[in-house]
Structure 1
Amino acid sequence: MNASIRPARPDDRNEVVDLLHTHMSAKIPRERWALLFDYPWRPADAPDCGRVLQEGGRIVGYLGATYVDRTLDGRVERICNMSSWYLLRPYRGQGHGRAMVLDLTANPDLTYTDLTATPQVDAMLRAHAGFAILDRQRWILRGKDRAADVDLRDIAPAIIPLSHHAGMRNVRFVQAFTPSGSCIFAVHVKRKGEGLAYHQLLHADRPEILAGQAEAIAAALLPEPAAVLAIDCRLVPDRPVGAAVEDIAQPRLYKSRTLRPAQIDNLYNEVLLLDQKLP
């Protein structure tokens, strides 16, 4: 076999969608897979759409990459989220997958994330590609049968970053008015396990208020007993009152020379594009 790696281009979309839908998961509709190439937050000068492994003009492997530019601490930081890594079986075990990752993540000026790495991918990224743990635990808060001393209002996301996610399925945008002040946050709502509805925090504009008022916010937010508010530990400065701790099944990973874990939230990832669940 004489396979080679190159950047994925927008005109690779149809062939990559066929590869992923046919071989990786037919449960994900083709139009969802196509969003990896055309997503709301894609910078106009995004360098590529990931990496493809090609042989004889045929794409036999793909590693997805979605890019976003975020203003953090007064600087514009480009973040690349990796996902949807698939090789046809005859091309596995030959180093192609690792080579694709190393080629994609070679730019030291970018921050890279993988929020859904399997144990095998986790081991490879940390051992060979310079990735580290972004988060491995989250705070869990359950609703309480009492009146909450906060007022929650669902809002339409009007400005970046939340406006990138307007209209996305199962994403809720909320403004909380609390005794400590107001904060705006976004949660992704999905059922896991035995029907437990996780309200997974994606982003909060004032994490310190969310942390201090999380118990009351959960009481007002959660619509049923079989629901929890889940907050990755890095996303708030302190343990919320009343919170239990839970291990994240697949730890979130990152590689960055410029950003701290607390600066990297869960807003930009393939889970939202593909309508999946964050581990």
Structure 2
Amino acid sequence: MVGVHLAFYSQRLVDGVVEDFCNLGAWCVLEPHRSHGIRMLRALLAQPGYTFTDLSPSGAVVPLNQRLRFSSLDTETVLVPARPLPWPRRTKVIHDPAVIESRLTGMDKVIFDDHRGATAARHLLLQRGDRECYVIFRHDRRKNVPAFASILHASDRELLSQSMTELSRHLLVRHGVLCVLGELRVIGPRPSFSLRLKRPRPKMFRSTRVGADAIDYLYSELTCVAW
């Protein structure tokens, strides 16, 4: 074996229609065979009927994807410094998997079951009054500092934005997270005390079937591969 291109396959319900997704993962070819690397990628993209995502393209891959008719997602990202203050505490943060599982229903329950063993996915439930928000996050590195958490999924984005102080404090105390990273397309309204990143990481997709609004970060290397 001289080359590998990982891919993560899933079927997702989009506007009541089951759609096939292929998430492009790590792409490695030994130096003497680099000229054949593009053939591997083209073979993946030749699969009919798929929506393709590339959620962590390197700098050199981005222009290649553009030539292959990939579109860029809006990845405007904010950074929320963790606040260790014990107040406000209007939102309860639940981290016990058994309790989270018992509270989830419908599609959130399906997502939890599908990702309970995913290496990079971490699960939380935010509770405020009779409202709940199911959150999936991953540990992340920036400039080789492993002190960040990236939000990958939030079932109630408004509640998440309102509860960012409690969430960031929980992540600081229990996970050593100094800053929370969230794309506005994932977390919704911009939280208070957040800073916009000047250079958010690119994410791309190619599809003739679904639009950018249907692209999320579940069932991908972002939930399945820790780095």
Render the CA deviation track for 1:75-106: whole Å, top value 9, x for unaligned: 222211112212221222x3x33332222113
Unpaired runs of 5+ residues, structure 2, are: 102-108
- Bigger proportion of residues as helix: 2
Task: Report the aligned-residue RMSD.
Answer: 2.6
Shift of 1:134: 1.8
Tell which has more relative contact order, 1 or 2 (C-alpha 8 A, sep 6+). Answer: 2
In the aligned structure 2, how far is the partner of 1:211 from the partner of 1:256? 30
Select the residue among 129, 136, 146 that pairs with 2:75: 136
Matched, 1:150 2:91: yes
In the aligned structure 1, how far is the partner of 2:191 from the partner of 2:14? 24
1:143 touches 1:227 (CA, 8 Å); kept in 2? Answer: yes
Identical columns (%): 24
In the aligned structure 2, how far is the partner of 1:264 from the partner of 1:248? 21
State the structure with more CA Rg.
Answer: 1
Unpaired runs of 5+ residues, structure 1, are: 1-58
**2:132 aligned partner:** 182
Shift of 1:67: 0.1
* Alignment TM-score, normalising by the size of structure 1: 0.67
Matched, 1:164 2:114: yes
In the aligned structure 1, how far is the partner of 2:198 from the partner of 2:46? 30
In structure 2, the CA distance between the partners of 1:71 and 1:199, relative to structure 1 (3 Å rule), is same
In structure 2, the CA distance between the partners of 1:261 and 1:189, relative to structure 1 (3 Å rule), is same
Select the residue among 46, 68, 84 that pairs with 1:106: 46
In structure 2, the CA distance between the partners of 1:107 and 1:231, relative to structure 1 (3 Å rule), is same
Shift of 1:182: 1.4
Select the residue among 194, 200, 205 that pairs with 1:254: 205
**1:90 aligned partner:** 32
Shift of 1:195: 3.8
Q: Which amino acid is the alignment partner of residue 78 of structure 1? A: D
Shift of 1:271: 4.5
In the aligned structure 2, how far is the partner of 1:275 from the partner of 1:221? 17
In the aligned structure 1, how far is the partner of 2:48 from the partner of 2:198? 30
Select the residue among 62, 70, 77 that pairs with 2:12: 70
**Segments ≥4 residues shifted beyond 4 Å:** none
The count of corresponding residues between Structure 1 and Structure 2 is 215
1:65 touches 1:83 (CA, 8 Å); kept in 2? Answer: yes
